[in-house]
Structure 1
């Protein structure tokens, strides 16, 4: 049966280009929709192309997998759509497409059909020139939240194409080598800064279309500026149209509420033991490289992934320890896979504990990142600066202590968004 091999690889946790199959794609003079809803009783697709009728486009299950599919001939680019999922207990859920490439602008929540193929990239010179290891050249990274960096005179948001002109010119003038974007993946709440995601494959529509974002990255590269994306694979928001209880049951999260619920942020944690979650997230990391030519990823809140008790819960693994063994294996698999395809990319961990070998190679027992944020240096140096100048002579250790461990990892020295906001 067509799609059976893709379904097998997805369920195996080894389908690292799953975005080429799941989601909405051109297929034989129609658009093919594929969604993972393993415990759904019935699944329909509904949208602009059928007048949002609830039950005229039933999807069929692909063999005995948890995937559902349908081909629709009347779909046009930018058509809005959702999946109408009938749960085993009789509820009706309307869900955005987890693999959608485009989405409605908040507060609306539908996915949009969008063909991201065939962008005429003009950054090949940058790609060729940066096909070398990063350790032998300096980096100065400008971290930015696109929503708050600058406004138009009428207080409206700058578009990707405006940012491609104004932000790129500013960063180049200031001498930075890279721009690090706080998450641009689609998210419903501005106040989350993008770290509570609903659309992992969709650049937020706040600033334009996916190809507008491609243009932004291209202009960065043509001005010799690399692009790093913040990425939050630890958790996702609980909004009704998102990943939470996707088919009425725990799909992307654990079925154990203690493990699933992230009470500190009001979100749900990914269950890294599930092969389908591994396919979803590892594919996502590769997707941003494949389609948007990004130069690296900064992985948010790695400590929350590594430790079951980092948020204060008394959760232990099968051996009685607090390490999240499934997350550790996922991180290693993620880094190993990304570097196999993009050996010179940046994989940066925001990791705030003393976990050893964060930047050590996987084959030597490390997690496989090539950089780690030095959170200790950041806190110590800021604490030193907060001292009254007359007292700083008694606190020089805050400026020198990081040298004790400076060569234990490949460190980036950050002053991050958290410190800018919270001090």
Structure 2
């Protein structure tokens, strides 16, 4: 059994740290709490610190004391509710838990809320671990990250669930280091700018996908060690890829070793069971009113940014945070002190979170998954906003997927589903996400949502992706979408990579790669993503023929492209559209090319515009519009030259 060393408990933690922690402003709490290798009076060991204000006693137990609680009793720091203990002789790799005696004299074994590493599930012990081993090589990326991630730069995100992207032949997981080779190569070859990882914090149940967490500071051991995950991020950065991490500050799972009723009482969750329970998910909500919970969560956000060089956090379920009754099934609605539905404490927490994160890391992104009309989600907190940099545009996703699933004869009556988003497209900084949520639980894959026979499914999907890439806002696609996964996502098995044995899926992968590169190379598609000056309708009203046309514009005069989307299976020859200037126009992109699996209805030569006003433009031209296709034109220049049609 390892020994303790006599030292005043009050000297293990500073009064300033204690004050800030209980004030809710200790934003580096991971340096204070948890298990840390330390040296006291020349003796090496481990300092343990845990918050359990209502516990009668707390002990540190592990293999080193045969999981007996009597030998290593922690000391309570006066009235703070924080317990500390230094155990001499312990080193990295020790398994441990906290043995908590609750107010009703029950014993529970709890994992460390601040543990840096944990046992591989189904085991649940925390592991003493140092995060100082890894030598980062991403200095160039970190130095220029702010410019690469500016609002006027392209952003094309590949969303990944590490447990099911690929699996080994025996069904086991790829490790972080193994994924650093194959995954990064795949993402780069397909033209993405960022990878977004679904939560990789420690969680007990594989099929929660990481959204029900027990170890907020512990990268899951399923795929390797913390330094292995650092290596994966480092390799992304060295290859020019940003890394976004899903983060879940709204709720946590009820597993006995986790945060729930940590000291035998509601601690991280509210005391009021109506506010604590999340029946929809079977979880507990965080209590944002407690300052110590604020310190825990804000520190956790900074932990991933500070130590793992994460470039952005996608904050899960923001709507469930800021509304008291969102996703709740209580027969009696919960009300705040003013009689409203807003969770006032959660709103204050959210603003403080974003203010603090940007104070330390102004070059990263905080991204809200928020699905309601809450105003100013991406406005600064100084302007009464929530302070996020981006918001997922779930309204657009719901509308466009509802439309694209309709049979062709039904589409004219629902044309507004294509155009309504432009009434609010610039009210926030939006990301357009075709995420995992759209492809599970019987919702079908994107390809299998498409109506009609096989060729129409692929044509519709090419058109949908084209519309995604030309609509204002940044982009996100879930893994497998790049090769038109046919079945919905199955989280227990790898993607259906065997589909690439078939020509139709090979062609689609070629299409998505080409489209992604075109998007990145075409400045007018992203330079003014969040500015109304970056968009202009040509014709939003051609519902009978299922065609919409518009312009995307860049910052420089004359930097624009003309986009025409045809949501019917008819080919339109000599289709007239208005354009802003006289001269030749070249078709730069067409989803109906035969190399993509299309029918080849293209505009091969440059088209001369005429001095004939149309669609509120001074000039116009006649084009061929492909079936279930998107075609994009740009003004002819010396660099962008092609023969003009002889008939023009």
In which range does the TM-score fall when normalised by the shorter chain?
over 0.9
TM-score (norm 2): 0.65
Quote the Cα distance in structure 2 between the aligned partners of 1:151 and 1:358.
38
Structure 1 residue aligned with 2:424? 405
Q: TM-score, normalised by structure 1?
A: 0.98
* CA shift for structure 1 position 118: 3.9
2:190 is the alignment partner of 1:174: yes
Query: Take 1:334 and 1:114, find their aligned partners in 2: how far apart are those partners?
Result: 27
Q: Which of 154, 165, 183 does residue 138 from structure 1 map onto?
A: 154
Residue in structure 1 matched with residue 242 of structure 2 by the alignment: 226
Whole-angstrom CA distance in 1 between matches of 2:374 and 2:23: 29
Higher mean alpha-carbon deviation, 26-35 vs 129-138, is at: 129-138
Gaps of 5+ in 1: none
Distance of 2:31 and 2:383 partners within structure 1? 33
Q: Name the Cα RMSD after superposition.
A: 1.0
Of the candidates 43, 52, 59, which is equivalent to residue 37 of structure 1? 52
Larger deviation, residues 304-313 vs 330-339? 304-313
In terms of mean alpha carbon deviation, does 334-343 or 75-84 score higher? Answer: 75-84
Native 8 Å contact 1:49 1:74 kept in 2 = no
The answer for the alignment partner of 1:6 in structure 2 is 17
Report the equivalent of 1:298. 314
Aligned pairs for 1:269-418 within 5 A: 269-310=285-326, 311-313=328-330, 314-418=333-437
Distance 2:221 2:351 in 1: 32
Q: Distance in 1 between matches of 2:299 and 2:150?
A: 23
Residue by residue, what CA displacement relative to the aligned partner does 1:213-268 show, whole Å, maximum 9, x if unpaired?
A: 00010011111110000011000000000000000011100111010011110000
For 2:164, what is the secondary structure of its paired residue? helix
Q: Deviations over 1:198-226 (max 9, x none)?
A: 00000100000001100010011111110
- Structure with more contact order per residue of length (Cα contacts < 8 Å, sep ≥ 6): 1
Q: Could you say which residue in structure 1 is the equivalent of 2:202? A: 186
Spell out the pairing of 1:96-115 with structure 2 (5 A cutoff): 96-115=111-130
How many aligned positions are there?
A: 423
Shift of 1:149: 0.7
Residues in 1 aligned to 2:395 and 2:64: alpha-carbon distance in whole angstroms: 53
**Partner of 1:94 in structure 2?**
109
Which residue in 1 is equivalent to 2:91?
A: 76
Matched, 1:251 2:301: no
Q: Is 1:213 paired with 2:224?
A: no
Q: Indicate if the aligned counterparts of 1:236 and 1:269 stay in contact, CA closer than 8 A.
A: yes
- Deviation of the 1:75 alpha carbon: 1.9
SS of equivalent to 2:440: helix
Contact 2:195/2:241 (CA < 8 Å) preserved in 1?
yes
Q: Hey, what's the Cα distance between the residues in 2 that align with 1:318 and 1:129?
A: 46
Q: What SS class does the counterpart of residue 27 from structure 1 fall into?
A: strand
8 Å Cα contact 1:81/1:110 also seen in 2: yes
Consecutive unaligned residues in structure 2, runs of 5 or more: 1-9, 444-648
Which of 162, 165, 169 is matched with 1:149 structurally?
165
Q: In 1, distance between residues paired with 2:146 and 2:390?
A: 17
Alpha-carbon offset, residue 312 of structure 1: 3.6
Listed one character per residue, the Cα deviations across residues 124-146 of structure 1 (whole Å, up to 9, x for unaligned) are 01111213352021000000110
For residue 72 of structure 2, the aligned residue among 41, 57, 60 is 57
Deviations 1:100-120 (A, max 9, x none): 000001101110111011420
Say if 2:65 is the partner of 1:46.
no
